[in-house]
Chain A
């Protein structure tokens, strides 16, 4: 267990509303990632962070923003939720750097109606 907590675990929201998902780690690791997992697509990277206030886009970043003001917290915001953003969202950390394995949280199931 790499000490990763995602909140909330489940959320239902309406189209057009902003939504923020939180990832909290207790181990002070530098690299953090947000993925979404959809049937037929596998895990796809949304954004990642390599330090406080240092973030970069992944392959499916449109409609999402992130912030990392503290080492332990990485926030994912859906600026205006759409039904296509209904998914399971996973946070991950990389223990030693970008070229080592990632450890995942339990996921957040988001439904946009």
Chain B
């Protein structure tokens, strides 16, 4: 059973066209939810950690939010350099493992 589901699988945006990526999770107790960015041929790069429902974090054009069942990564006025795969991961209260989603591949067209 998938514990982390990301949608959409792929997203194409025009430069400046804002949108949101979704990460839904099914864990019994959430210790933390993590967002990463991954460029082709590279390892994931850490973006945000969210710990409790209602929490929000921002970095440049990115804003991550968290509810009890899902997280959103909002991208405001994206630029071509924001093109990447965005990964979501969760960690349960009961263990040390991170469970990753399969990611959303974002392409921003100039």
Between A and B, 21 residue pairs with Cβ closer than 8 Å are A4-B43, A31-B96, A40-B102, A42-B4, A42-B101, A43-B89, A43-B98, A45-B97, A48-B96, A48-B97, A98-B91, A99-B31, A99-B91, A101-B32, A102-B34, A102-B46, A102-B98, A104-B43, A104-B45, A106-B42, A107-B42
Q: Which residues of B contact A (CB under 8 A)?
A: 4, 31-32, 34, 36, 41-46, 49, 87, 89, 91, 95-98, 100-103
What is the bound-complex CA distance between A44 and B100, given in angstroms?
Answer: 7
- Chain B residues whose CB sits within 8 angstroms of the CB of A18 once the complex forms: none
Q: Is the CB of A43 within 8 A of B42?
A: no
The main secondary structure of chain B at its interface with chain A is: strand
Is A58 interfacial (CB-CB < 8 Å)?
yes
Q: Which residue of A lies closest to B9 (CB)?
A: A40
Q: Of the candidates B87, B89, B97, B101, which one forms a contact with A58 in the assembled complex, judged by CB atoms under 8 Å apart?
A: B97
Q: Tell whether, in the assembled complex, residue A42 and residue B91 are in contact, meaning their CB atoms are under 8 Å apart.
A: no
Residue of B32, B96, B100 touching A43 (CB-CB under 8 A): B100
> Which of A43, A59, A98, A100 makes the CB contact (< 8 A) with B49?
A100
Cross-chain contact A43 with B97 (CB below 8 angstroms) = no
Contact: A59 with B100, CB < 8 Å?
no
> Judging by beta carbons under 8 Å apart, are A42 and B103 in contact?
yes
Contacts of B36 in A (CB 8 A): 104
Q: Given the known A-B contacts A43-B87, A50-B96, are A90 and B44 also in contact in the complex, defined by CB atoms under 8 Å?
A: yes
Q: Choose one: A59, A98, A99, A107; the contact of B43 (CB below 8 Å).
A: A107
B44 contacts A104, C-beta separation under 8 Å? yes
Question: Chain B contacts of A33 at CB under 8 A?
Answer: 98
